Amino acid sequence: MISLYRPASSWLHNHRAGHKLLALCFVSIFIFPLTSLALLLSLLMLCASMYLSLGKDGLAEMRVVVPLWPWFLMMLAFHWYSGEPVAGLVAVVKMVLMILLANLLTLSTRQSDLLSALQQGLTPITWLGFSTRPLALSVSLMIRYIPVLVLLLGQHRQAWRARGGAERRKWLLVVPALIGALRLADHVGESLTARGGVSGFR
């Protein structure tokens, strides 16, 4: 759903990971209570202009929201049925905006920088005697592997089509996709263990 890091030297890439992560947190908190469609659409335009500032490739990254159209349609239908079509539009625009902003963070921030920023952000839990590295590494790896899982699902879909599988029975892919995801998790775990696990040799 969200993109992997795209190496570049844009203004967004040059900002510190911690600042971007904090900004995302604050913007999310600011957006959450908003009900004005006009204001949300303005913010969406602002977000689109940030993508535009990254160039043609950056703009193309906005496509991440396209595969989610069935969810958006469902939300709109639900609100329309409840007699609140505008509230439905507000909810959809909010969701699109949040996904696009999170995507901006991951495509412009290296995973290791995100890991360091998360570790720094989680410092308060060290006061309780917990180590921040395992948690930060888990979150950072989770972000890293979301697109890999999407790719995996795509491969299952291709294998399904190659053997003449019907589009309407695509739901049958849920189990193999889940098994594939578990296998991937096993491999990631092994690779991590082979290099000292989540805590390393500190």
Contact region with other proteins (CB under 8 A), list: 21-29, 30-38, 82-90, 106-114: 106-114
- CB closer to other proteins, 84 vs 186: 186
Does 111 bind other proteins (CB under 8 A)? Our answer is: yes
Closest approach, Cβ 133 to other proteins, in A, equals: 9
> Cβ neighbours of residue 170 under 8 Å, at least 6 residues apart?
157, 160
> Cβ neighbours of residue 120 under 8 Å, at least 6 residues apart?
18
Please list every residue from 137 through 196 that binds other proteins, using CB under 8 A. 141, 144, 187-188, 190-196
Does 15 bind other proteins (CB under 8 A)? Our answer is: no
CB 44 within 8 A of CB 98: no
Q: Which of 112, 126, 155, 158 binds other proteins (CB under 8 A)?
A: 112
CB 186 within 8 A of CB 166: no
Contact region with other proteins (CB under 8 A), list: 23-31, 57-65, 85-93, 113-121: 113-121
Does 57 bind other proteins (CB under 8 A)? Our answer is: no
**Tokens 């991440």, residue?**
64
CA dist 145 → 4, 13, 33, 98, 116 (Å): 9, 21, 30, 19, 18
Tell me the torsion sign for CA atoms 115, 17, 104, 54.
negative
Q: Which of 4, 25, 60, 150 binds other proteins (CB under 8 A)?
A: 4
Closest approach, Cβ 199 to other proteins, in A, equals: 8
Please list every residue from 74 through 103 that binds other proteins, using CB under 8 A. none
Among 57, 94, 59, 61, residue whose Cα is nearest residue 75: 94
CB 40 within 8 A of CB 31: yes
Contact region with other proteins (CB under 8 A), list: 1-9, 21-29, 123-131, 174-182: 1-9
Contacting positions for other proteins (CB under 8 A):
4-5, 7, 110-113, 115-116, 141, 144, 187-188, 190-197, 200-202
